[in-house]
């Protein structure tokens, strides 16, 4: 599913209109899709619905939505920010013909009617402003939005965006008009959200449900705006996917449908060799759990054989914690050495994928010696301390074999880029990942809320999870273990990074809380996610 900038969406709609899918058709389809999403989530028949109608196409979508909700049995009223002419506005004419209640803001002194309607409203449809908002909201519109914002109560700010399957709608948070008042559905985006930057106007009122069209917008995945979207649903409005303007969009978001298609096969006659042998070279006396977490995740993601190259200080405990693993011969006591790297290179042909870095410590000699034999390395994932060691080399990208996967969190990313963390945080995450993947010639997986995976070609994929339960030590080790497992099962590097990050986020989503999940427990949830995906 494509993720559009505002300019890209404007160009796509223009191209669709030229290809025969008129703006009027797209508006009708969009408004109907919003109504269907609302009906799928909440009880509509007999509910009181208020549609806030803006002056542009977003308001037109709202008029269509309200009409379909009225036909479904809702008591629908329309509050118009600006007057509309039924002679030139077919959608407005249709609701007038139905005898539905309408009022213009210009005739509502001190917003008395608006306040009264809000008091009895079960479902509020926000169709005031669309994706084009780029400056602060003021004037009469600002006054209207302030009234709405001050009247709306009960919004839960900890909701995170979840992209459901294309067109279909499901709510992970069952809501009824009695639990929150009113429920808010945003048309394309909550009014006041900058759909390029994620900036949120102070007058914006967050939504429980946002129905966007053709695909999400960049701002839907950038905070603080991302937290204002509630559940995010992307609706098909008939735009041909083969249009050059659509194909040229380089940013996508992975959905459950895509993740399902990427899963490596599990033939019934497979044996442990069928599913790959991977090597995890990591750990030191200070970080003894990291290699075990990564190896556990690799097994949970489907690896048949997982070998650990770890110092002796780790081996005794790890064999108890993970007896399924095997161990490469390592003489080092507390820190992997250059000699160990040379020994591993001599036997590297037996492994299908390699992970280096989790808990590695300052084993710089080990890593540089290992990378000196890069032509003999299998597909490679570099994480954690491996990235920190690389960042100290001026031309570190050249040390890596082609197509390596780098999995930095923001702190590691800033070190690789040679800038401060403060400088990194003010930049757009997608753009940063795209630019650095192109500059470095490797796949970049930038971790965080809405992890981004980018490839050297400039393409990028957003992972649709922002979950604070993942903010726990060892979470990154589990992620890198999943990815190396998928590489070992024969997946291409970019697809392994995308699917690995999706499985990691989806596993965390199975946990019922926002804190308290241990990273080892996270690894244990991965098979459940994979089976759910396979079951469709």
d(CA 527, CA 536): 14
Asked if omega into 182 is within 30° of 0 (cis), the reply is: yes
Mean pLDDT of all residues in 268-283: 94
Instruction: Compute the distance between CA of residue 57 and CA of residue 65 in angstroms, rounded to an integer.
Output: 12
Phi-psi category of 297—alpha, beta or left, where left has phi over 0 and alpha has psi -120 to 50?
alpha
pLDDT-derived band of residue 151, with 50, 70 and 90 as boundaries? confident
Rounded Cα gap, residues 76 and 46, in angstroms: 10
CA 314 → CA 69, 126, 148, 369, 386, distances in Å? 62, 57, 59, 22, 18
Q: Which domains does the chain have, with CATH numbers?
A: 22-236 (3.40.50.10260), 259-535 (3.40.1190.20)
| pTM over cut 0.85 | yes
Query: Looking at per-residue confidence, does 153 or 41 come out higher?
Result: 41
Rounded to an integer, the average pLDDT of 493-516 is 96
From CA 531, how far away is CA 389, in angstroms rounded?
37
Q: Whats the size of the chain, residue-wise?
A: 536
Report residue 485's pLDDT band, with 50, 70 and 90 as the boundaries: very high
Query: Which alpha helices (DSSP H) does 55-188 contain, by range?
Result: 57-71, 90-97, 112-120, 139-151
Helix H or strand E segment including 477: helix 475-488
- Residue (of 443, 447, 460, 432) closest to 501 by Cα position: 447
Strand spans (E) along 81-239: 101-104, 123-127, 183-187, 209-213, 231-235
As a whole number, mean pLDDT of residues 511-524 equals 95
Nearest residue to 469 (alpha-carbon basis) of 504, 495, 427: 504
Whether 480 has a pLDDT exceeding 90, the answer reads yes
pLDDT at 181: 66
Tell me the pLDDT of the chain averaged across its residues: 93
Give the tens place of pLDDT for each residue, 317-370. Answer: 999 999 999 999 999 999 999 999 999 999 999 999 999 999 999 999 999 999
Going by C-beta distance under 8 Å and a sequence separation of 6 or more, which residues neighbour residue 518?
A: 472, 474
Mean pLDDT computed over 376-398: 97
Which pLDDT band, with edges at 50, 70 and 90, does 171 fall under?
very low
| Per-residue model confidence (pLDDT) at position 511 | 95
Name the pairing type of β-strands 251-253 and 460-462.
parallel
Could you report the per-residue pLDDT of 356-386, keeping only the tens digit for each?
999 999 999 999 999 999 999 999 999 999 9
Give the model's pLDDT for residue 161: 38
Is the pLDDT score of 178 beyond 60? no
Question: What is the spatial distance between Cα 90 and Cα 391, in angstroms, rounded to a whole number?
Answer: 61
- CA neighbor of 448 nearest in space, from 158, 210, 221: 221
> Quick one: average pLDDT of 3-27?
97
- Find the mean pLDDT for residues 410-438: 97
CA distances (Å), origin 144, targets 53, 78, 90, 216, 510 = 12, 14, 25, 27, 40
DSSP 8-class letter at 253: E
- Identify the pLDDT of residue 166: 31
User: What integer is the mean pLDDT of 222-250?
Assistant: 95
CA dist 194 and 409 (Å) reads: 26
Q: Check the CA dihedral 270-271-277-283 and report its sign.
A: positive
Measure the CA–CA gap between 364 and 77, rounded to whole angstroms: 67
pLDDT of amino acid 132: 81
**Cβ count near 378 (within 10 Å):** 19
Please give the pLDDT value at position 160: 34
Helix (H, G, I), strand (E, B) or coil at 197: coil
Q: What is the mean pLDDT of residues 453-471?
A: 96
Overall average pLDDT of the 509-522 stretch: 95
Per-residue confidence (pLDDT) for residue 162, from 0 to 100: 38
Q: Are 470 and 479 in contact (CB under 8 A)?
A: no
Task: Give the model's pLDDT for residue 153.
Answer: 56
Asked if pLDDT for residue 175 goes beyond 80, the answer is: no
What confidence tier does 316 reach under pLDDT thresholds 50, 70, 90?
A: confident
Peptide bond between residue 224 and the one before it cis (omega within 30 degrees of 0): yes
pLDDT band at 536 (very low <50, low <70, confident <90, very high): confident
CA-nearest of 448, 380, 439 to 411 is 448
> Is-contact 420 396, C-beta < 8 A?
no
């Amino acid at each position: 599913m494509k993720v559009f900038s505002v300019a890209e969406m404007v160009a796509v709609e223009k191209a669709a209109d030229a290809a025969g899918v008129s703006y009027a058709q797209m508006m009708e389809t969009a408004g109907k899709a919003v109504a269907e999403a609302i009906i799928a989530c909440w009880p509509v028949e007999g509910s009181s619905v208020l549609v806030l109608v803006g002056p542009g196409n977003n308001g037109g979508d709202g008029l269509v939505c309200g009409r379909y909700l009225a036909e479904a049995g809702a008591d629908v009223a329309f509050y118009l920010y600006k007057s509309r002419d039924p002679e030139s506005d077919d959608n407005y004419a249709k609701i007038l013909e139905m005898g539905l209640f309408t009022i213009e803001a210009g005739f509502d002194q001190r917003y008395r009617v608006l306040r009264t309607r809000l008091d009895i409203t079960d479902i509020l449809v926000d169709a005031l402003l669309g994706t084009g908002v780029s400056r602060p909201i003021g004037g009469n519109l600002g006054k209207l939005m302030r009234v709405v914002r001050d009247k709306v109560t009960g919004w839960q700010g900890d909701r995170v965006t979840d992209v459901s399957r294309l067109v279909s709608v499901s709510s992970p948070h069952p809501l009824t008009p009695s639990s929150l008042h009113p429920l808010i559905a945003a048309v394309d985006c909550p009014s006041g959200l900058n759909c390029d930057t994620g900036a949120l106007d102070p007058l914006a009122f967050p939504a429980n449900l946002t129905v966007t069209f053709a695909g999400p917008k960049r701002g839907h995945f950038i905070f603080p705006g991302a937290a204002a979207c509630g559940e995010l649903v992307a609706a098909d409005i008939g735009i041909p996917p083969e249009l050059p303007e659509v194909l040229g969009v380089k940013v996508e978001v992975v959905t459950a449908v895509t993740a399902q298609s990427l899963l490596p096969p599990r033939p019934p006659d497979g044996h442990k060799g069928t599913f790959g042998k991977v090597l995890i070279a990591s750990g030191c006396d200070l970080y003894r759990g990291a290699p075990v977490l990564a190896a556990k995740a690799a097994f949970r993601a489907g690896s048949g054989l997982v070998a650990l190259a770890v110092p002796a200080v780790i081996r005794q405990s790890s064999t108890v914690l993970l007896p399924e693993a095997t161990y490469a011969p390592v003489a080092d006591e507390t820190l992997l050495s250059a000699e160990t790297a040379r020994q591993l290179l001599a036997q590297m042909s037996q492994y299908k994928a390699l992970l280096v870095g989790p808990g590695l410590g300052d084993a710089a000699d080990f890593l540089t010696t290992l990378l000196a034999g890069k032509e003999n390395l299998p597909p490679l994932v570099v994480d954690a301390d491996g990235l920190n060691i690389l960042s100290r080399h001026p031309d570190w990208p050249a040390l890596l074999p082609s197509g390596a996967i780098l999995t930095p969190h923001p702190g590691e990313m800033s070190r690789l880029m040679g800038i401060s963390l403060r400088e990194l945080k003010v930049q757009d995450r997608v753009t940063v990942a795209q630019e650095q993947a192109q500059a470095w010639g490797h796949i970049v997986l930038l971790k965080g809320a809405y992890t981004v995976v980018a490839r050297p070609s400039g393409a990028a994929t957003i992972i649709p999870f922002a979950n604070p339960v993942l903010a726990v030590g060892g979470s990154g080790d589990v992620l890198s273990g999943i990815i190396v497992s998928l590489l070992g099962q024969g997946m291409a590097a970019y697809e392994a990074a995308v699917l690995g990050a999706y499985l990691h986020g989806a596993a965390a989503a199975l946990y019922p809380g926002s804190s308290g999940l241990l990273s080892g427990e996270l690894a244990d949830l991965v098979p459940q996610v994979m089976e759910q995906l396979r079951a469709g």
